[in-house]
């Protein structure tokens, strides 16, 4: 409840009307908003630094400081191999009609 009232700024009466799923979505939306704010700050800082340094060295925004969601963007799911695709195709079931 502290998270809802303090961070999200919800009234207690509104909080108690939320389902757990609604609360999680609101919390996730707030986290996304925070991440965007920090991304903007990091980007603007890089612009200021690069404009004052000239063309000697270019600093990318991610070089300044890392954010928690940077790690999520780096994870890539490997593509399945041909054998794995054929294995899944062999397990296909036709629906009963």
Does 11 or 97 have the greater pLDDT score? 11
Q: Which among 34, 37, 62 has a CA at the least distance from the CA of 49? A: 62
CA–CA separation, 31 vs 28, rounded Å? Answer: 5
10 neighbors 30 (Cβ within 8 angstroms):
no
Confidence (pLDDT) at 4? 75
3-state class (DSSP) for residue 60: coil
Helix (H, G, I), strand (E, B) or coil at 21: helix
Question: Tens of pLDDT along 6-28?
Answer: 778 888 888 888 898 988 999 88
pLDDT in tens, 54-86: 777 888 888 888 888 887 766 677 888 888 888
pTM of the entire predicted model: 0.59
CA distance 44 to 30: 21
């Amino acid at each position: 409840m502290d998270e809802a009232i303090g961070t999200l700024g919800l009234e207690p009466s509104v909080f108690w009307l939320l389902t757990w799923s609604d609360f999680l979505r609101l919390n996730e939306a707030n986290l996304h908003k925070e991440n965007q704010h920090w991304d903007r700050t990091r980007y603007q800082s890089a612009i200021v630094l690069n404009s004052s340094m000239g063309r000697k060295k270019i600093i990318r925004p991610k070089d300044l400081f890392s954010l928690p969601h940077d790690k999520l963007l780096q994870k890539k799911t490997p593509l399945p191999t041909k054998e794995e695709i054929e294995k899944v195709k062999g397990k296909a079931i036709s629906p009963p009609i």
